[in-house]
Amino acid sequence: MDTGARWPGPSQATLEIDLGAIAANWRGLESRLAPGVACAAVVKADAYGLGAAAVAPVLAAAGCRSFFVAQLEEAIVLRRVLGPAPDIFVLNGCLPGEEDIFPAHALIPVLNDRGQVALLAGQAARTGLRPRAALHLDTGMSRLGLTPDEAAGLAEDRDTRRAIDFVLVMSHLARAEEACDMNGEQHRRFALLRAGWSGVPASLANSSGIFLGTSFHFDLARPGAALYGINPVPGRPNPQRAVVTLTAPVLQIRDVAPPETVGYGATFRATTRMRVATIAVGYADGWPRGLSNRGKARFADASLPFLGRVSMDTIVVDATGAPSLRTGDRVTLLGDGLCVDDVAADAGTIGYEILTGLGGRFARVHLPA
């Protein structure tokens, strides 16, 4: 199998993706589900930046039978990768002109409003076929999905239900990673709505939703982030295995002394003589500029704080604490105790944005499961 691996050149930052850890994370989540509940995998945005073509087959081999992506284009590629067996759901639904592409690739649109439902009912009338679809019910996100009134109306609409083969009703939690009343309220609304869809499997929980208790599991869980090592229970120890290691080589080592400054805008000024290293990764690689003067790298047991601004292609780090560091050595930016959630917090964002922002310039190495 082509894993997409390219051996890194000595001056290239390298992203190592542990496919075995992803499979273990999926199995770990599945084992938390109530008996009879299936575990899907969300592999949208190229498996959160980690490479859906490598990740999805490993999850299928682990036993995953249902996959979710955001876009039709992602789904077409995924179908080619996975072959005919798994269910592939498209969260963004189906816009006019796309409806015939779904059955051509055996893809399932998640219908998000009455217009999309009417589109598929029209398709059914035109083709004489009964298209498969999922239905998104909005229980509080105000993002995608039928309103509770629309959902109740549709549940009673016999003609449409005969025309369309609804294989899943689902909703999405807005605050699953928090302990708050909104989770209970969304659960209550969803349980009420899905009662109108007896016999149709139901799905509510994302990664964090799995940890809210078995009553949130319904028939199918839809984890994404936790598969890729993001902590689904912030503030508590991460039950997931780390998946990504990012290393960057040292291009140059030098001394700076007061009153010299480092980088664009001269935002760091040396107050003492120090040894600094320039490493080959920058914001063009998706390493956020928000980590300027805040991020850190690791080498051996030493922490190497970022000095000054993150540039497009390079970052300068304080290497005073790592006297053995040499040009060509690799420092670690993710992995070795640096977790994606902490990096994200330092950058003022979330792990999801860090992973999906990882650029195309890295050497990517998928470690086989």
Ligand X SMILES: *Cc1c(COP(=O)(O)O)cnc(C)c1O
The two structure tokens encoding residue 133:
């679809």
Q: Do β-strands 296-299 and 302-307 pair in parallel, antiparallel, or remain unpaired? A: antiparallel
Whether 296 sits among the annotated catalytic residues: the reply is no
With CB atoms as reference, the residue minimizing the distance to ligand X is 224
- Tally of CB atoms within 10 A around 327: 12
**Residue placing its CB nearer to ligand X in the complex, 48 or 268:** 48
Cα gap 238→242, rounded to integer Å: 9
Residues of the shown chain interacting with ligand X in the complex, contacts defined by CB under 6 A = 42, 44, 91, 172, 206-207, 222-226
Minimum distance, C-beta of residue 218 to ligand X, in the bound complex (Å):
13
Judged by CB, which is closer to ligand X: 92, or 293? 92
Least distance between ligand X and beta carbon 344 (Å): 13
Of the candidates 44, 48, 228, 283, the residue annotated as catalytic is: 44
- Of 88 and 280, the one with the shorter C-beta distance to ligand X is 88
The minimum distance between CB 4 and ligand X, in angstroms, equals 22
> Rounded to the nearest whole angstrom, what is the least distance from the CB of residue 364 to ligand X in the complex?
21
Give me 132's structure tokens: 């498969």
First to last CA, the chain: 12
What span, in angstroms and rounded, lies between the C-alpha atoms of 153 and 150? 5
Q: Give one DSSP letter per residue of 279-323, joined into a string.
A: ES--GGGT--GGGTTT-EEEETTEEEEEES---SS-EEEE-TT-T
Residues 207 and 232 sit within 8 Å (Cβ to Cβ): yes
Given 228, 264, 296, 352, the catalytic residue: 264
**Cβ closer to ligand X: 42 or 54?**
42
Contact 267, 308 (CB under 8 A): yes
Nearest-Å Rg of the Cα atoms of the chain is 24
Output the smallest distance, CB 318 to ligand X, in A.
34
**Is 264 an annotated catalytic residue?**
yes
* Amino acid (1-letter code) at residue 142: S
By beta-carbon proximity to ligand X, the closer residue of 239 and 321 is 239
Catalytic residue set: 44, 264
